[in-house]
Structure 1
Amino acid sequence: MEAQEKLETILQEVIIENAHDKHVFSNNNKSIGIYKKSMKKAIKTIGNHLKERDTPFTGTSISTIKQRIDNIYLEENKRGKSLDYVLDELKDIYLDDCIHFHNPKYIAHLNCPILTPTLVAEAFVSSLNSSMDTYDQSTGATFIELKLVEWTLDKLGYPENADGIFTSGGTQSNMMGLLLARDHYIKKHFGIDPKMDGLPPEASKFRVLCSEVSHFSLKKNLSLLGLGQNAVIPVAVDPDFKMNTSALKKVIQQQKDLGNIPIAIVGTAGTTDFGSIDPLAEIASVANENDIWFHVDAAYGGGLLISNLHKEKLSGIELSDSVTIDYHKTFYQPVSSSGFFMRDKSFVDYIKYHADYLNSKEQEDEGIPNMVKKSIQTTRRFDALKLWFTLRMIGTEGLSSYMEKAISNAQFTADLLRNREDFEIIHKPEISAIVFRYTPFTGNGNSYCGINSYIRKAIFNEGKAIITSTKVYNEVFLKFTLLNPLTTPKDIEEIIDLIVYHGNEYSLKN
């Protein structure tokens, strides 16, 4: 009897094991058949979902969404559920209420609508799962990424000896720029290798200068790099929220007088709130005069590089030591797809490391591409393929037209608001972000904060459109970030009507 029970247990385990094996993606006909069938169902589910909703959000409360997921017990069936079951479940807990960045009335954050060629590329990226750290895990993918790095370097106007790498996003790319700036200064002025010996005592005096409206990742990264958030020294901006270079010169001298050591300046080509572009050529001159690193955060504005109408706005970027570009913003790529670029490939020495099992020195001597030495990641997705499909199928002219339409929409919005007495717009949009507030009555900052905060929340909870807000000098303003080339002037006018409607609603309640 005991032997019979053992046999039945073994048979049951074999059945379960075989059931699980069918989900392992392989090159046999059965596996490929399951893959095709599964992908077809997934695409159908996505397509049906997109057709069912014409708003960027449903307005469903956060508590309702959280409760739906809290109610799920992940191990209720240890053998797993069918794909149909999981897709139906996904519809309830995610799809029905997910944010639609591709909707023309989503104009909140720097989330771009994505391009169909990139979705085709994603199928290859995920299904074949190449890892970009070594050539023997990626083969042709390595050279595709290198080709796109070369293409971007050419657009930047960097010298022949430049180099770059795809990254997970602007925060990582900015970290690499600051890391290289820090270690370059240490090697040059203290003659030690920070990779081996760590930071010198003087590192507590290192300072990085950036505009007062630059990205928060600079503070975050300097904290992670051991310099502390207080190493970031803000520089005043002009009325258009661009770094004031006269103020920059003064701040550099003030820091030197205090005994501190300015090691880098970060210029921003497209601030998150205003889209403002710092005077890059002027900043490069100041950096050169003071012999300090010049990094450009062009996560937002990098897309202007391929626009014949607007690329001059980035004049001076070619003089920088390093650059951040987010392809998943103004190149209309799915997240994640970003890049870090340096004007001299020898700067890689500050981060490279040889592991015999991964990228031995012998392999590099043989001329085998060594991608991992340029990255602070080891395992990396083949995200470059998405941009490759985009350029091959749409081309730079088609791709740049999307950004140009977004900039045109921003100018339309600015003109529209500027000609109304019930709105205040506080800058000239340089890319596609507009910061403003609704001012239907004579009031002060506090009263305007109340009405504009209410408007932002009410519009989100309604779901017909999504905008966002920010604070400028501690007062609440509304913000449009226009990236969708399918957004029309009519869409913009309708969103402004929503702002007025909810503003009146607030006035009646208060």
Structure 2
Amino acid sequence: MTKEFSEWFLHSNNNESKFQELMTKSIQLINEEAKALQKPYSGWTREQLEKGINEIIQIPKEATDANTVFEEVQERIVRNSLWVSHPAAMAHLHCPPLIPSMAAEVMINALNQSMDSWDQSPAATYVEKRMIELFSDLIGYTDTGEGVFTSGGTQSNYMGMLLARNKVCQTRFQVNVQTEGLPSEAKKLRILCSEAAHFTVQQSAAQLGLGMNTVVQVEMNDRHELCVKDAKKKICALKSEGLIPFMVVATAGTTDFGSIDSLKEIGELSEAEELWFHVDAAYGGALLLSHQYRSLIDSIDQADSITIDFHKLYYQTVSCGAFFVKDRENFKQIAYYADYLNPEEEEPDVINLVEKSVQTTKRFDALKLFMTLKLMGTDTFGRMVDSTIQLAQDTAQMIQDDPDFELLNHPQLNAIVFRYLPRSLECEADISRINQQIQQRLYQEGTLIAAKTKYKGRAYMKFTMLNPLNHLEAMKVHLNQIKEKGKEIEREGQ
């Protein structure tokens, strides 16, 4: 009976041919599609996609020939996916993944280890530990710093708020939330963040039992950064109402504008007001390796906790993120021990990563980052990041100089928010409608994938220019595409 199954698993006598066959077919499929790729999306409509996928998603009782399966996957799925590796895909914070990261994925998947306890991931545990140490050093944390790999910014931001909540309840109300739950006084707690902070601040507040109303939004300055002056005002106002501000969340790379809050000023304010200081550097954390722009996050070491996503500007395959704390003692706020996993009486030198994570089963994502930086080197990596920021700045200047466009931000990172200005229209509602239609039509054609966003009720387009293979001549072409499409829509409305 075991022979019947052996070809489908590694470490069996018959596995080599099946493993080699399927891996080779996968590589060939991706290579073929990548070489033939003319645009980032095929242009299939939602109706075509649903019909095409439904036709192949039929699970048979008997095995299907591999050639048939790969043909279906290639024609219906891969060919109609959004190729974020194409330079014209600039909508969201989805990076073109580096080849070393893809190679590491094969090993991660084959090993299929869970990173919760040492006995399940003996070598992998030390790889993650060492990568966390290296990045803690880059941040500027002392020997007390610590961290853990996560699924990404949502989980990391949640963990920052979780530790901050538990600590303030312990120090302010003498309540251990892990054992006793939230005290009644917790309804007075307040968190400050800018209007441009990631939605996960509100989401986490809701999930942590504090409620979204706990989050107090601070005004932005003219650079779309958290206004420290307004933060001070709001803290005073909250205290006068008998409320308890206990945390401030700064952003190093906002989703729309790529803006970086003044970490130095916010850090000083946090220290003076005894607030937990969390920095969401999911996007801008890559500046740690930048040659030209590292100074933008020079004061990040003041933070009590930090979010970094490696599947954004570090060009890792999804998912790959990390959460860091200045003082590892704060992880005790979430530590839990199970006899079958990480018994409390474990030998002192045994590392069980589950003790500082909200995940149990966790991937060996540290291998991807290790292999990438080992194969590329940090010098090349830093230049690559810098080149995308320089291109964004040059493109922003080109937009500003063109009367057919309005530029909304001068990028600190590589995100640009702008809109097309139709010369025949003055009504803001019509201008917004045309910009939305430009974005939608170009997406449907599959030629240019830009994002849409809103600012003060007006519709804008956005380029998130992560791809280092992009160049200024290509950006000129894309801006002309937008203008031509805008003029076409204008003519239709006349």
- Normalising to structure 2: TM-score of the pair? 0.98
Say whether residues 1:277 and 2:224 are aligned partners: no
Measure how far apart 1:22 and its partner are.
2.5
1:379 aligned partner: 361
**8 Å contact from structure 2 (residues 131, 366) kept in 1:** yes
| SS of equivalent residue, structure 1 residue 262 | strand
Q: Deviations over 1:178-215 (max 9, x none)?
A: 00110010011111210000000011121110000110
Q: Is the aligned partner of 1:490 residue 2:494?
A: no
C-alpha displacement of 1:57: 0.6
After superposition, residues 40-439 of structure 1 pair within 5 angstroms as 40-72=24-56, 74-75=58-59, 77-363=60-346, 365-439=347-421
Identity of matched residues, %? 38
SS of residue matched to 1:165: strand
Which residue of 2 is the match for residue 470 of structure 1? 453
Q: Which amino acid aligns with 2:299?
A: G
2:244 partner letter: I
Structure 1 counterpart SS, 2:360: coil
1:145 counterpart SS class? helix
SS of aligned partner of 1:281: helix
Ranges in structure 2 where 5+ consecutive residues have no aligned partner: none
State the AA in 1 paired with 2:34.
L
SS of the residue 1:94 aligns to: helix
Deviation, structure 1 residue 301: 0.1
Note if contact 1:239-1:427 (Cα within 8 Å) is conserved in structure 2. no
TM-fit CA distance, 1:19: 4.3
Gap regions ≥5 residues in structure 1: 1-13
Deviations 1:398-431 (A, max 9, x none): 1112211110110111110111111111221100
Structure 1 runs, 4 residues or longer, greater than 6 Å off = none
How many angstroms does 1:509 deviate by?
1.1
Q: CA deviation at 1:73?
A: 5.1
Which amino acid counterpart does residue 40 of structure 1 have in structure 2?
T
1:444 Cα deviation (Å)?
Answer: 3.5
Greater Cα radius of gyration, structure 1 or 2: 1
Alpha-carbon contact 2:422-2:490 (below 8 Å) kept: no
Distance 1:283 1:92 in 2: 51
Q: Is the 8 A contact 2:422 2:431 kept in 1?
A: no
Distance 2:13 2:29 in 1: 24
Contact 1:169 1:339 in 2 (8 A): yes
How much has 1:18 moved relative to structure 2? 5.1
Deviations 1:217-261 (A, max 9, x none): 111111111111111111001111001100000011111122221
Question: After superposition, what is the alpha-carbon deviation per residue over 1:449-491, rounded to whole angstroms, capped at 9, x for unaligned?
Answer: 0110011001101111111110001110110000100001111
Q: Report the counterpart of residue 18 of structure 2 in structure 1.
A: 34
- Counterpart code for 2:220: V
Q: What's the secondary structure of 2:14's corresponding residue?
A: helix
RMSD over equivalenced CA pairs, Å:
1.2
Instruction: Number of aligned residue pairs: give it.
Output: 492
